[in-house]
Amino acid sequence: MPANAKPDLNTSREERVLIADTESLMCELLQIRFENEGFKVVIVSSASEALNLDLSRFSIVLVDLMGESVNGLQLTAAVKRNPDTVGLPVIIMSAKASEDDIVDGLEAGADDYVAKPFSTRELIARVKSVIRRRNMMNARRLANVIRFQELTLDIGAGTAFIDGMELSLTQNEFRLLAMFLRRPNHFFDRAQIREIVWNNDSAISDRAVDTSISRLRKKLFDYSRNLVNRKGFGYGFVE
């Protein structure tokens, strides 16, 4: 980091910026300005060249629309289609600034659209704002994610995965798994489970609780051994 760098206090690590644009002089000037702000910058001259990089390593992509075989809109759409980069922010920088151009860019998935010529100070402020927003969203999402080894439960999305493979769980099976993973090594008796998972529904019998947990256990593959029934204590997920 240059001696006169001004790192953004709202970020906790060095942010990596990818700039995809044919205007080499502008890119060099942007690189200097961004590096003075504490960013790491990589420059490519085409959207296709950008797609050949590991985009998951970057914090944000700045791309011109460009009129080549793979243009900026296509790059933006490709970033947002890829599960590994769907959360990667993209800002389009273009001399095309009609309402239709801006709408096309935003509909392709761009997080912001900056018309050329622009103030580098304003662009950097927009980049920081977009990255800050992404970091806040990631923090909220991670707060709702529970992991045990390769078993991942995303409370917000209502999904569960083992080694990247999504599990087909019913709503009650998902609630059961969430209950167990939130308090590993804790045991719940059937009355507690009915209260937490079924809102104390009197129609749910002890047998129904046992059956639901048995079905959940079968869907957990190797992790089924972690879901145990200890006599006199109840059910628990043991690490």
| pLDDT tens sequence across 125-162 | 999 999 999 888 877 776 788 999 999 999 888 899 99
Question: Nearest Cα to 116, choosing from 98, 97, 99?
Answer: 97
Q: What does R_g of the chain's alpha carbons equal in angstroms? A: 24
Enter the DSSP assignment of 148: E
CA angle (134 as vertex; 133, 140 as ends), nearest 5: 90
Are residues 86 and 57 in contact, defined by beta-carbon separation less than 8 angstroms?
no
Q: What distance in Å separates the CA atoms of residue 139 and residue 133, rounded to the nearest whole number?
A: 10
Confidence of residue 40 (pLDDT cuts 50, 70, 90): very high
Q: What average pLDDT does this structure show over 175-187?
A: 94
Enter the DSSP assignment of 95: S
* Amino acid 144: pLDDT: 85
Q: What average pLDDT does this structure show over 158-187?
A: 94
Dihedral, 103, 108, 112, 115 alpha carbons, nearest 10: -60
| pLDDT tens sequence across 42-93 | 999 999 999 999 999 999 999 999 877 789 999 999 999 987 898 899 999 9
Q: What distance in Å separates the CA atoms of residue 84 and residue 100, rounded to the nearest whole number?
A: 29
Q: Is pLDDT of 11 > 80?
A: no
In the chain, % of residues over pLDDT 90: 77
Q: What average pLDDT does this structure show over 198-225?
A: 93
CB within 8 Å of 232: residues ≥ 6 apart:
none
Structure token digits, residue 81: 């289609």
CB within 8 Å of 102: residues ≥ 6 apart:
113
Confidence of residue 13 (pLDDT cuts 50, 70, 90): low
Structure token digits, residue 134: 């992404």
CA angle (235 as vertex; 232, 239 as ends), nearest 5: 115
Dihedral, 81, 86, 92, 97 alpha carbons, nearest 10: 60
